[in-house]
Chains A and B, each alone.
Chain A
Amino acid sequence: MLICLVTYAQNWQTNPDATFCTFCWRTFGLAIFVGMICSDRKGKGPCFEIKAKKSGLLGGTEQVPVLELRQISKNFGAIRALTGVDLSLEAGEVLGLMGDNGAGKSTMVKIIAGNFPPSGGEIFVDGQPVHFNKPVEAREKGIEVVYQDLALCNNLTASANVFLGREIKKGFGPFKWLDHAEMVRRSGLLFAELKSETRPRDLVRQMSGGQRQAVAIARTRLSEPKVVLMDEPTAAISVRQVAEVLDLIRRLRDSGHAVVLISHRMPDVFSVCDRVAVMRRGTKVADKLIKDSSPEEVTGLITGAINVA
């Protein structure tokens, strides 16, 4: 680009009709685009990066996946739950993770979420190697999980659940009080953002499956997570609520989060995911774009009718 500029300056007097090369034009365009986003978002760092990556304009620079697993394996005693699994995930991407029961999906999710460490292999977040011993450590690195059982406390309100373990406090010195009003306000904003009809002051006990799901998802958005793992979010809810949850996932993706959707339900994966990875017997047997695949092929891969794609 610099060479292009210099050449342009040199040739300007002799040849005023000369223009920038395409690459420079693209770069300028990107700069303006990014500038607009930054001023819009009041200069929040992560948004700029995500948008730039999403727009695909950073042609020259190498993209670092937000999450990368290299040769992950996990043994439980003599049982090999995972053997040499590679997986990478870009920002703003929804990856469907499929496989039969016992194929190693849950083990993989638990390793990423920090429930237990892998027996072998490495995990990278934004290119940095990480080691998790507890779920909280994974969360600090920007990995949020929506568990299959949602991990909600029925006896608490929606807003209390959203802020559980990360309560907003006010006060002075050693005296810190819960800031109920602020937590209610912020969780209300999160629900509105997710377009969910969930009221922050309601007890979770009385909520529908979709609303509970919204509470669990709203919780992941307290921090700006890089990756959101969702374990079977549509397994136990009604058809209408499934549509709601899939919308929630699309909204997560649109705001630049990478989402891993673990699911048994083929239609869900094919309607919301960009890419699908299939696990069988602890190994990854396929990893391809949704548009290059079909439900039939994935079914074949899950059951073993098709060996490797």
Chain B
Amino acid sequence: MSHEAPKSTAATGGNVAIEGVLGIQEKTLVQSLFASQAFWVTVALALICGFMTWYEPHFGSIENFYNITRNFAFIGIMALGMTVVIITGGIDLSVGSIMGVVAVASGLVLEAEYPWWLAILAGLGAGLICGLINGYFVAFLNLSPFVVTLGMLSIARSFAVVLSGNRMIYNFGPGGPMFKIWGGGAFLGVANPVWFLVIFTVLLAVVLRMTAWGRHLMAIGGNEHAANLTGVPVKWVKMQAYALSALSAAFAAILNVGWSGSAINALGQSYELRAIASTVIGGANLMGGEGGAYGALIGSALIEVIRNALLMAGVDSNWQGTFVGSFIVLAVLLERIRGKRRE
């Protein structure tokens, strides 16, 4: 798929020649579109949606659309944070458990009859602390992200259970209604979490493309040693990446509690896998240095649509885990094949 650009004339020097070279893109827009995994996932998604609407008209109904989009919004928001970590070549297994802690923290604050915004702050704060701990151990103590976040997965979940006294928190006090609007409300017929997902996707896309921070993330994923030598603040950027991932999980948890109207310490169990799957399906490379915001969104959408389609086709919903798991392996396999071809 390599584009035969005209042989550059830069060797002759002079400004005219330079102008000619500067314009040369390695690939044309269409070519890079066809080369991107997110594009093909979008195509697959459209095909599945088209087929399902024909097969089962209820699939295309407005209610079902509302449900599907809201369902994947939570995972999508987490996948955005996960994308940032995966771009640096790391992984964050703790996001599911962090959701549990955040749910319980917010729930307890609401139960104690504090205002809604304090509950949100408490939730985000709890998530941020977990993320900073992850980031510190990974970036500054140079431990493997797999081990650190696996530890946090266990720690955060146990904290959630202990804090909540192993009960469901649903008695939300005066701040409850306002808190619930964030995750449970809708705007222009689309659930609020979906709006947040769209806004965050755009924000992350801009940050990745247009800021030095985004470029540093890519550089760390591409060659951490080189990034360090060229003066990129590698440790800080990595720590911020884990903090952002945890924050996105915290936000998803707050929306989820608002939507479901209750805080349970089991919230987010096995979500880490779905977030990682979404990211990888959307084209992020688990080896680092590759990934995008749109990919995270479309990856999470594909998983949810397939799950929904299976339900409608009458397949036991417990098969979902099998599909998510195979997707991760398949996506990584696909990436390996693409990587080989590129060498």
B222 contact from A147, A153, A197, Cβ within 8 A: A153
Given known pairs A155-B221, A169-B212, the reply for A200 and B21 (CB within 8 Å) is yes
- A196-B10, A197-B10 known; A153-B289 Cβ under 8 A: yes
Given contacts A199-B5, A205-B342, contact A155 B226 (CB under 8 A): no
Is B10's CB under 8 angstroms from A139's CB?
no
Contact: B229 with A178, CB < 8 Å?
no
Interface size class of A (residues with CB under 8 A): 35 or more
Question: 25 A-B residue contacts at CB 8 Å?
Answer: A135-B228, A149-B225, A151-B226, A151-B229, A153-B219, A153-B227, A154-B222, A155-B222, A156-B218, A156-B219, A165-B216, A165-B230, A165-B231, A165-B232, A166-B231, A177-B211, A188-B22, A191-B21, A192-B14, A196-B11, A197-B10, A199-B5, A199-B8, A199-B21, A199-B26
Consensus secondary structure, chain B interface: helix
**Residue of B24, B225, B228, B230 touching A199 (CB-CB under 8 A):** B24
Residue of B whose beta carbon sits closest to that of A147: B229
Within 8 A of A (CB), among B156-198: none
- On chain B, the residues within 8 Å of A177 by CB distance are 210-211
Number of interface residues, chain B, beta carbon within 8 A = 37
Closest 4 CB pairs of A and B: A153-B222, A165-B231, A151-B226, A155-B289
Docked-complex contact A176 and B218, CB < 8 angstroms: no
Contact residues of A between 66 and 102, Cβ < 8 Å to B: none
Q: Please list the residues of chain B having a beta carbon within 8 angstroms of any beta carbon in chain A.
A: 2, 5, 7-8, 10-11, 13-14, 17-18, 21-22, 24-26, 209-212, 215-216, 218-219, 221-223, 225-232, 289-290, 342
How far, in angstroms, from A282 to B216 measured CA to CA in the complex? Answer: 37
Complex interface bits, A175-211 against B, C-beta within 8 A gives 1, otherwise 0: 0111000001100110110011111111101100000
**CB-nearest residue of chain B relative to A137?**
B231
Q: Which residues of A contact B222 (CB under 8 A)?
A: 153-156
The residues of A that contact B289 with a CB separation of less than 8 Å are: 153-155
Min distance, Cβ B69 to any Cβ of chain A, angstroms: 31
Which A162-176 residues have C-beta < 8 A from chain B?
164-167, 169, 176
